[in-house]
Each structure stands twice: as structure tokens, then as C-alpha cells.
């Protein structure tokens, strides 16, 4: 596939970073004058590494193949956070509340905390347990992405994303309720209860299933690095723009893969609400999820299990996609009851060891396509 060599290079570079960082340790170059950058997840780490490269000291807090929903910060993490000049975290109540508290209380007075999720025009998550996608109906014309302009991507390919901060919905993001998530119904005890009640906000944080939103995150990171380290501004700008171009190519590749699946087969069920951006961008309909939540750590009631079985029967679903980071017991129970197949190997939250974002997305999409394309 034409895009794979680009991503293989990214994987090699990321593997070097991960070896140097381990599970988040800083490198021996801490005194080299480079800025110290911390990313909470391997996904964010790959994004910023594509832009910063050898000009930054990168620390990735969470190791690969670990579900961020269940990550417990360690005392060593506090040291890594305190050493950082800038911290990139997903936000939108994605990371556990204990980690957010650690970020807020441990970062030094000169460091910058950047919530990446705010910058990508996040989609809403409804109370019914399914993402609300205003642009979901017009994916038959997805080849040219014309209807994606309504989400604020009008000039995404041509303009280099210069105006994302001015897009409708970004300037007033805090006014629309983002700062008040803790006061929303059902979220009052988020901080007090810790990880067991890892309620998410009203916006879906899993934006990495849309490469164009990743491009928005990359632009944010590029601009932040330029601001903190103007002496390397040209290097960051060149690398950032090149990466954004690759992400646009990746978007076209994913779109072409999805379009090989007959429209009637573009329906699926998976473990939890993690594919909202894939659904919104490419028209793959997530009929329901086993865990009706944005967190794979949440529990499911017997009534909710029955609801999933009803959806399977009503829509003649043949397979369930089981997420690798989440417990599979619910999916196995439902599959056995409905006499359908489980498909394993879907990674939705994090990268695997030595894996780049581009390869991660292509492998996930290919897995979905291969199991939907030939369904009767």
C-alpha cells in the first residue's frame, strides 16, 4: 500500500523514542538545551515526535498496550511531569482523574499544560450512549470530503490548518460547557471517586480514528513547540506541515478502504464507545456497543446485555469486534448467546510496541473491512 513506507519510517523513529523513554523516563540529553516534552499516551507521543523529532526530549508517560482508562500514575510520574516544559494530554476527561490531579499539582510554574482534545472540534456523546454526528448522513460522497466542511475542515488540505483556533465552536468552547463538566449530571463525583467512577464528559475523546482531527492536534503541537523553542521554529514548521500532509493522505487511504465495503455491511458492534470519529468521518455505523460508555472500564447491567442482543437480532449482525484493551468476557457471553463470531485484534486506545499511528489506523481499518466486506 502506497502509504505504508511513510508510516514504517514513523514506526522506526517512534521505536527509538520508546526505547529511550521506556515507560516514560527522560533521556540523557536533559541538559542539552532541548525542550522537555511530555505526552501522556503513546498516541500523543507519536504525534509530537513526528514534529519535534531530535529537537526535543520526549517522555511518554504511559507504556504501549496499556489502556489509559485504567492507568494508575506512579510517584515516578510526578518527577517526569515536574521536569517537563510542556505537557500534552488528551483531556475531555479521558485520562483518569488521579493523573489529571497529578498534572495540575506537579507541573512546575513555567511548564505549559496543553489539553489537545479541546482543539479538534470534538463530537458530542449523547445520554443514550451513542455519539451524535450531525454530519453522519452524507457519506456516500465522502471521496471528496465536501460535506466535512461543516465541521470546520473547509480548508484543511489547502491552508495548512492555520485557522483552526478561529473555527466555529472553538473560541467559545469553554462557554459551551467544557469547563463545567464536573458540574454535569452524573459527573459530580468524578474527582472524589477516583478511577472506579471514570465518567467522561459530554464529548468523545477518541479523535485518533479521524486523521484530519489528528492533523488539527498536530498543528496545535507544532505551534506550541514553535512558541516554546523559536530557535527551531523552521524545523518544527517543516516537519509539522509534512506530517499534516501525510495525515491527509492517510485520510484518503482509509476512505478508499471503507468504500470497498458494501453500504449495507457498514454496520458493527464493538466493546465500548470508541469508534465515534470513524463513524462520523467514514460512515461506518456503530449500531450499539456492549459497554454504553466512553470508558472501557465501566460496567454493564443485565438489561444492557439484553439490549445488545436485541440489536444483534434486529439487524442480523454476524460479528462483534472485541477491543484488545478491554475485558472480552461480555463480548464472549453475547456472541455465544447470539451464535455469532467475535473478531479480536482491534486496538482502539493505544499503540502497540514500536507501532506508529499511521500503521495503527490502517491495521484497525483493514481488520474491520476484512470482516465486513463479504458478509451476506
- At residue 191, the pLDDT reads 40
R_g (Cα) of the chain, nearest Å = 20
Which pTM was predicted? 0.75
Comparing CA positions, the residue from 307, 311, 260, 308 lying closest to residue 282 is 260
Its CATH class, for the domain covering 4-254, is: alpha beta
The dihedral region occupied by 354, where left means phi > 0, alpha psi between -120 and 50, and beta the remainder, is left
Task: Tell me how far apart the alpha carbons of residues 80 and 39 are, in angstroms, rounded to a whole number.
Answer: 10
Comparing CA positions, the residue from 243, 255, 306, 301 lying closest to residue 281 is 255
How would DSSP label each residue in 43-54? HHHHHHHHHHGG
Task: Tell me how far apart the alpha carbons of residues 265 and 250 are, in angstroms, rounded to a whole number.
Answer: 23
The residues with which 89 forms a beta bridge, in sequence order, are 115
How would DSSP label each residue in 273-319? S--HHHHHHH--EEEEEEE-SS-TTS---HHHHHHHHHHHHHHT--E
Question: With contact defined as beta carbons under 8 Å apart, do 131 and 201 qualify?
Answer: no
What does each C-alpha distance from 207 to 52, 156, 304 come to in angstroms? 21, 16, 26
Pairing type for strands 341-346 and 319-323 reads parallel
- At residue 25, the pLDDT reads 39
Residue 79 in grid coordinates: 518527577
Residue 22 pLDDT greater than 70, yes or no: no
- Per-residue pLDDT tens over the stretch 205-219: 999 999 999 999 999
Task: Tell me how far apart the alpha carbons of residues 94 and 307 are, in angstroms, rounded to a whole number.
Answer: 26
Question: With contact defined as beta carbons under 8 Å apart, do 214 and 247 qualify?
Answer: yes
Please report, for the chain, the start and end positions of each structural domain, with discontinuous segments joined by +: 4-254, 261-372
- Per-residue pLDDT tens over the stretch 325-350: 877 788 999 999 999 999 999 999 99
- Tell me which of 78 and 174 has the higher pLDDT: 78
Residue 114 pLDDT greater than 60, yes or no: yes
- CATH superfamily membership of 261-372: Nitrogenase molybdenum iron protein domain (3.40.50.1980)
Residue 246 pLDDT greater than 80, yes or no: yes
Question: With contact defined as beta carbons under 8 Å apart, do 84 and 109 qualify?
Answer: no
- Tell me which of 357 and 137 has the higher pLDDT: 357
- Per-residue pLDDT tens over the stretch 64-107: 999 998 899 999 999 999 999 999 999 999 999 999 999 999 98
- At residue 104, the pLDDT reads 93
Task: Tell me how far apart the alpha carbons of residues 64 and 370 are, in angstroms, rounded to a whole number.
Answer: 25
- At residue 47, the pLDDT reads 98
What does each C-alpha distance from 258 to 165, 280, 350, 355 come to in angstroms? 30, 13, 22, 22
Residue 376 pLDDT greater than 90, yes or no: no
Report residue 59: phi and psi, to 5°.
Answer: -120, 130
Question: Per-residue confidence at 126, pLDDT binned at 50, 70, 90?
Answer: low
Q: In CATH terms, are 4-254 and 261-372 the same topology?
A: yes
Q: Can you list the alpha helix ranges (DSSP code H) found in the chain? A: 4-21, 42-52, 75-83, 97-106, 156-159, 190-193, 211-228, 233-258, 276-282, 302-315, 329-338, 357-372
- At residue 202, the pLDDT reads 85
Amino acid at each position: 500500500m502506497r502509504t505504508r513506507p511513510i508510516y514504517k519510517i514513523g514506526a522506526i523513529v517512534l521505536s527509538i523514542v520508546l526505547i529511550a523513554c521506556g515507560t516514560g523516563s527522560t533521556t540523557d540529553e536533559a541538559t542539552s538545551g532541548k525542550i522537555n516534552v511530555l505526552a501522556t499516551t503513546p498516541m500523543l507521543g507519536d504525534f509530537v515526535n513526528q514534529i519535534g523529532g531530535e529537537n526535543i526530549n520526549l517522555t511518554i508517560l504511559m507504556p504501549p498496550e496499556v489502556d489509559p482508562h485504567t492507568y494508575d500514575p506512579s510517584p515516578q510520574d510526578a518527577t517526569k511531569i515536574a521536569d517537563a516544559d510542556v505537557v500534552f494530554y488528551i483531556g475531555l476527561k479521558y485520562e483518569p482523574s488521579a493523573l489529571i490531579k497529578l498534572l495540575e499539582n506537579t507541573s512546575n510554574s513555567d511548564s505549559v499544560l496543553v489539553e489537545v482534545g479541546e482543539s479538534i472540534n470534538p463530537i458530542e456523546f449523547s445520554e443514550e450512549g451513542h455519539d451524535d454526528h450531525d454530519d453522519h448522513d452524507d457519506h456516500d460522497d465522502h471521496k471528496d470530503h465536501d460535506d466535512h466542511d461543516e465541521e470546520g475542515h473547509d480548508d484543511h488540505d489547502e491552508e495548512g490548518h492555520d485557522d483552526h483556533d478561529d473555527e466555529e465552536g472553538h473560541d467559545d468552547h469553554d462557554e459551551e460547557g467544557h469547563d463545567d463538566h464536573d458540574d454535569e449530571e452524573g459527573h459530580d463525583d468524578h474527582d472524589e471517586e477516583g478511577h472506579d467512577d471514570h465518567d467522561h464528559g459530554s464529548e468523545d475523546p477518541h479523535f485518533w480514528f479521524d486523521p484530519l482531527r489528528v492533523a488539527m492536534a498536530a498543528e496545535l503541537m507544532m505551534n506550541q513547540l514553535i512558541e516554546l523553542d523559536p530557535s527551531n521554529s523552521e524545523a518544527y514548521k517543516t516537519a509539522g506541515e509534512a506530517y499534516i500532509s501525510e495525515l491527509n493522505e492517510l485520510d484518503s487511504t482509509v476512505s478508499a478502504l471503507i468504500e470497498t465495503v458494501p453500504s449495507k455491511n457498514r454496520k458493527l458492534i464493538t466493546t465500548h464507545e470508541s469508534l465515534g470519529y470513524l463513524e462520523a468521518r467514514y460512515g461506518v455505523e456503530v449500531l450499539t456497543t456492549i459497554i454504553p460508555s466512553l470508558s472501557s472500564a465501566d460496567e454493564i447491567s443485565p438489561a444492557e446485555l439484553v439490549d445488545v442482543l436485541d440489536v444483534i437480532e434486529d439487524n442480523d449482525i454476524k460479528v462483534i469486534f472485541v477491543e484488545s484493551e478491554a475485558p472480552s468476557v461480555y463480548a464472549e457471553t453475547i456472541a455465544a448467546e447470539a451464535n455469532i463470531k467475535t473478531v479480536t485484534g482491534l486496538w482502539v486506545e493505544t499503540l502497540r510496541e514500536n507501532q506508529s499511528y499511521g500503521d495503527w489506523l490502517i491495521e484497525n481499518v483493514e481488520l474491520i473491512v476484512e470482516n465486513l466486506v463479504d458478509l451476506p
